[in-house]
Chains A and B, each alone.
Chain A
């Protein structure tokens, strides 16, 4: 089977000559006259927003595109959705394509909600029969049925967004291009949209190309990802690899650390061999669901008998807050002497405890009673906690980012006082 999207040597060049986006006739004319007198020293700068991109996307793939600002993510999506033309190369699209570069494209404030559903649907490429058929489902999904005959200008921005998403969610293309649009709207509704997209893409084999800054969305929606850098593909892999490498790259830290024999932290009593973040399947992982327990596994070698060794980790979040420290207090070895040999420790941070975000892990072996620190490596590992939409979390149905350093689910009870 041929790939559903085939991209060959694709490139897009922009010319940076003036800061305003359009020219006035006078500027053009005077520019021509001036150029008679001036040497051509001030040649316009060419800027390749995209260069030599090769990519094959198979039917049913859900591709996430990540990269810094200006890496060419949106340019790639714009070319694929044919909003702009490439300067070189070629892209072949084999299937009906719909692009969501924004939600509510073409919404008109003077038209009613109902009229805008039809207009927006048509602009996104739906046929009239299709909109008729889906109309009730769209209205139902949006939850604005009471206001359908009201002009859109009287809608709150949240309602407009819901209506726009509702139309978009009912598109039935074979290929769907999405650009960051999910970054708006309230959380519950986002959840509903992601859920709907996952449902269609998994059940009906819809191909999705998704651009986002939000690693959480990429990780939860996509199965493959590409990392764009300066207009070129830096890496193409499965999504967890890409997200892990990308996050590691932006902070230069990894989910796993191993030391060569000569460089191990520690002293003549105990030395650190390796440390890593693991999921419940004991696989190294730097990106975990909020519902998933996070394991920190440390391997160390004890070189001398007879020492009481305490193990500990410090967890800092991305704002530098020390979320907690944990010591090996409930192990049998806490008050006993270690014998010579290789040891592995494992501590579990329960699921539904940390909030979403990036965490840094430090590790140490020490004994405060003896007033000795054998080693203490600060912030040597990092992992990312992302939100999920199909499991119960401490956020419940609340909107947007849930505040707090941690996000536990506590036992609540409510009774009515008569």
Chain B
């Protein structure tokens, strides 16, 4: 048991206090564990839903976009759609879970102290667990659809997941803090998610976008950069590096904004929530 002196003072300068987050890592684990447990309680299929959801969507998209509208991509359309959908799943459920996390746990926040950043982080980690299961299914699909794979580009997977994770975390953190103060953001959220969906190369590919300025704009959405990396092992076309860089910069700006705003409000969250 460590003998640490804690000084409780009026909120002062900005500090991230990563060491405190690290001290509470077990609590993070328990929050993630709770979210997963609760999510699949009283379901017959349990965690299988984590792979069924994107798989079913993929089937629908395949029939709608590939068979009906003849959207063409540089790989098997089901692989294209599924890879897009699972990364999207991580990104979108990360955002929507974490932006509600503070309000949904308000009872706890009013009664007990912990670094509030744990809350959106735990929601995102729970979404990440789902992603891991779906990610495994992706490899099954590669075999099923006989998709040629460039194994040398594998290192791009963790990179793209990292970009997705960071941008989802940033937006979720920002929204969670904002919706504590203004509940309006809760109602804005589904709309926002829908917009990001259409601005992401999930059902279509940005390579089919003709206007270069629109294409550049699209990569402000960090998910497009992440998807550019994520699908690289499945085709031999060059990566649109210009866009990926924009995405990475965008993700970094989002991260700083999200963290700064969250930390600024953190001290008052329990009074507002």
Contacts and interface: CB of A to CB of B under 8 A. Distances in A.
Counting chain A residues whose Cβ lies within 8 A of the other chain, the interface size class is: 35 or more
B113 A86 contact: no
B3 A95 contact: yes
Nearest to A106: B108
A25 B187 CA distance: 12
Interface stretch (B6-14, B88-96, B212-220, B243-251): B6-14
Contacts of B267: 85
A174 B37 CA distance: 32
Contact of A124 (B37, B38, B112, B183): B112
Interface in B178-202: 180-184
A82 B8 contact: yes
Contacts of A28: 182
Contact of A83 (B33, B111, B181, B272): B111
Contacts of B2: 96
A79 B8 contact: yes
B107 A105 contact: yes
Interface in A116-131: 118-119, 122-124, 127-128
Contacts of A88: 10
Nearest to B7: A92
A15 to B, nearest CB: 10
Contact of A21 (B7, B8, B41, B272): B272
B117 to A, nearest CB: 14
Contact of A22 (B105, B108, B180): B180
A78 B269 CA distance: 13
Contacts of B26: 122, 127-128
B155 interface: no
A85 B11 contact: yes
Interface string A79-103: 1111111111111111111010110
B42 interface: yes
Contacts of B108: 105-106, 123
Contacts of A118: 30
A200 to B, nearest CB: 15
A153 to B, nearest CB: 10
A152 to B, nearest CB: 11
A374 interface: no
Contacts of B109: 83
Nearest to A85: B267
B38 A86 contact: no
A122 B27 contact: yes
A108 B112 CA distance: 15
A21 B268 CA distance: 12
Nearest to A109: B38
B1 interface: yes
Contact of B1 (A23, A91, A96, A151): A96
Nearest to B112: A105
B112 A94 contact: no
Nearest to B113: A82
A314 B112 CA distance: 49
Interface in A51-81: 78-81
B111 A101 contact: yes
Given A102-B111, A124-B112, A93 B5 contact: yes
Given A111-B34, A124-B112, A24 B182 contact: yes
Contacts of A79: 8
B7 A110 contact: no
A110 B42 contact: yes
Contacts of A81: 112-113
A186 interface: no
Nearest to A94: B5
Interface in B34-70: 34, 37-38, 41-42
Given A99-B112, A106-B108, A22 B183 contact: yes
B33 to A, nearest CB: 8
Nearest to A81: B113
Given A24-B184, A118-B30, A127-B26, A91 B8 contact: yes
B112 A83 contact: yes
A301 interface: no
Contacts of B3: 94-95
Contacts of B182: 22-25, 28
A115 interface: yes
Interface in B77-119: 105, 107-114
Contacts of B42: 110
A84 B183 contact: no
Contact of A101 (B6, B112, B114): B112
A99 B30 CA distance: 19
Contacts of B113: 81-83, 99
Contact of B38 (A90, A92, A105, A111): A111
List the 9 closest A-B pairs by CB distance, nearest first: A82-B113, A122-B30, A91-B8, A93-B6, A101-B111, A25-B184, A85-B267, A25-B182, A110-B41
28 contacts: A14-B271, A24-B183, A25-B182, A78-B270, A82-B6, A84-B270, A85-B9, A85-B10, A90-B8, A91-B7, A91-B8, A92-B8, A93-B5, A93-B6, A93-B7, A93-B8, A95-B3, A99-B113, A101-B111, A105-B107, A105-B108, A111-B37, A115-B34, A118-B30, A122-B27, A122-B30, A151-B41, A174-B1
Interface of A: 14, 21-26, 28, 78-97, 99, 101-102, 105-106, 108, 110-111, 115, 118-119, 122-124, 127-128, 151, 174
Given A83-B111, A89-B10, A123-B112, 15 more contacts: A23-B182, A78-B270, A82-B113, A85-B10, A92-B5, A93-B8, A102-B111, A105-B107, A106-B108, A106-B112, A110-B41, A111-B34, A111-B37, A111-B38, A115-B37
